[in-house]
Amino acid sequence: MTPRRCVVDTNVLATANGANEPAGLDCRVACADALREIMVDGHLFLDRGDLILDEYLKAVGAGQPEPGGAFVKWVLQNQWAPNRVTRVPITPRPAGSGRTGFQELPDPPRGTRYDPADEKFLAVAAACPEHPPVLQAFDSKWWGWQGALKASGVTLHFLCPGQIQAKYEEKFG
């Protein structure tokens, strides 16, 4: 079951639209269903600086007939409705601090390196007192981050767990 209150990685929108073909039809349907559930009776967490929304717009646009585009349109229509969307402040680390990312996201444990492009989603989940889960579709590196993130108070919800685990093991062993 999809969490109704969550952060949604752009990969979910792209997979729902069929962009991650190796993910398969079951994964695509799971992503489309998750987006629909959020739009009907859910709550989304975004950053106040619109980094996530900007990424959604670049990746899938708004109002396209695919599930991802419909979701972006919903986000645009509801982004200021506090009963549907919470906008969480996140603070970029200062230039020259030795690390990119956001102050709200704890440093990863030794041996783990987060993708800078993904840190905004993780930072929103970490910064929000509710610590909503981050929905993930088919980006296999996230599978390897589970333990490190859980130790930092961030949980992941995989919409296609069997497929993403197999892809992770294929890529990373």
Which residue, 115, 170, 117, 173, is CA-closest to 148? Answer: 115
> Which single residue is written with the structure tokens 């800078």?
116
d(CA 42, CA 32): 14
Q: Which domain holds residue 109?
A: 5-172
d(CA 102, CA 59): 22
Between 99 and 123, name the one with better pLDDT. Answer: 123
CATH assignment at residue 164: 3.40.50
Domains in the chain, number: 1
Nearest 5°: phi and psi at 87? -100, 115
- 3-class state of residue 128 by DSSP: coil
Q: Are 123 and 105 in contact (CB under 8 A)?
A: yes
Q: What is the pLDDT of residues 71-92, one digit of tens each?
A: 999 999 999 999 999 999 999 9
pLDDT at 48 > cutoff 70: yes
pLDDT at 98 > cutoff 70: no
Q: What is the pLDDT of residues 121-167, one digit of tens each?
A: 999 999 999 999 999 998 888 898 888 888 878 999 999 999 989 88
**Mean pLDDT for all residues in the chain:** 90
Q: What is the model's pLDDT at position 65?
A: 83
The reply to whether the predicted model has a pTM over 0.85 is yes
> Both tokens of residue 81?
């409705």
Lowest-confidence pick of 50-64, 75-89, 90-104? 90-104
> Both tokens of residue 63?
């109002």
d(CA 60, CA 27): 18
